[in-house]
Amino acid sequence: MPTNLAEARERLARANRLIANEGVLDAFGHVSMRHPTDPTRYLLSRSRGPELVQADDILEFDLDSQPVKPPTARLYSERVIHGEIYKARPDVNAICHHHALSILPFCISGMELKPVDHLGATMGETVPFWDSRDEFGETNLLVTKPAEGASLARALGSHWTVLMRRHGATVAGRTLEEVAFRAIYTVRNAALQIQAHLLGMVAPLTKEETRLAGDHNLAPGPVMRAWEYWNARLDKAEGRAPRARRNEARPRSRASSAGRKIRGGRKK
Ligand code: MN
């Protein structure tokens, strides 16, 4: 994870756009990370579609989800999702809340979301289902009150993904890269689970398979390979040449940044 604030804001903005570029987020949903040096704060964009989020949009919040500085922009109404999970889970450093299309049939039907392929194993063996009616009765289904966020965090418990009735999912990770991996491959697993059911009843991975495959996928090698790939796709979508390989090939020096300038067209 980044160790300074400027780098963290840049990386978090990128994670928002990257996960959106993979179809998990649309106009709604959001990605946050714990503050790189102050674990009692977290970083989250002002209210806008994640695909549009830039480093300048990233604001600081305390764990009660109050902005650290008086806000000059509209804030996400569901930020308590993030604050209450960071409060409950010191091991969680990044969170993605989304309403991805292939997750929603599970949120609507109550059918259990299960790992059915090796990459989907990163969701964990159990994906709890949170029904806001259990504690709060009929609501507009958004998670806007601290008590609602705390209830969702309790439902998540020690797991990594929680489904929210008629709403979407919230995914936690130890790092931004891990949360991107888990969110993207859980959504893909959901689509696969539905498609495979059309062919017949599908048994999920066994508990041991889920553990073995999940641990393998979440090692730095696979997570960073996927992160580089999704970054390259994002660069392409945003009209830039892929930068991950270029940085690897060229040492960071004045000469290489001059080289980039000559090739030109790279805007912040
Ligand atoms: Mn939502």
- The pLDDT assigned to 245 comes to 54
The catalytically annotated residue of 78, 84, 125, 178 is 78
Q: Which two tokens stand for residue 58?
A: 């990233």
DSSP 8-state symbol, 250 = S
236-262 mean pLDDT = 58
| 78 classed as catalytic | yes
11-16 mean pLDDT = 98
23-33 mean pLDDT = 98
Residue 263 pLDDT > 80: no
Residue 264 pLDDT > 70: no
Instruction: Quote the ligand 1 centre to 28 CA distance (angstroms).
Output: 7
Domain ranges of the chain: 5-267
Give dist(CA 46, CA 50) in Å, integer.
Answer: 10
Give dist(CA 29, CA 164) in Å, integer.
Answer: 13
Rounded (10°) CA dihedral 28, 179, 234, 245: 170
Instruction: Quote the ligand 1 centre to 23 CA distance (angstroms).
Output: 15
Residue 266 pLDDT > 90: no
pLDDT by residue (tens digit) across 177-213?
A: 999 999 999 999 999 999 999 999 789 999 999 999 9
CA-based angle 30:31:32, to the nearest 5?
Answer: 125
Instruction: Quote the ligand 1 centre to 169 CA distance (angstroms).
Output: 8
Domain 5-267: which topology?
L-fuculose-1-phosphate Aldolase (3.40.225)
Residue 268 pLDDT > 50: no
3 pLDDT band (50/70/90 cuts)? confident
Q: What's the pTM value of the predicted model, to 2 decimals? A: 0.89
DSSP, collapsed to helix, strand or coil, labels residue 179 as helix
- The pLDDT assigned to 2 comes to 72
Higher-confidence residue of 169 and 258: namely 169
pLDDT by residue (tens digit) across 57-105?
A: 999 999 999 999 999 999 999 999 999 999 999 999 999 999 999 999 9
Q: Round the average pLDDT of the chain to a whole number and report it.
A: 92
216-233 mean pLDDT = 96
Contact 164, 170 (CB under 8 A): yes
Give dist(CA 59, CA 32) in Å, integer.
Answer: 10
Instruction: Quote the ligand 1 centre to 170 CA distance (angstroms).
Output: 9
Contact 86, 106 (CB under 8 A): no
Q: How many CA atoms lie within 13 A of 57 on its CB side?
A: 23
pLDDT by residue (tens digit) across 115-136?
A: 999 999 999 999 999 999 999 9
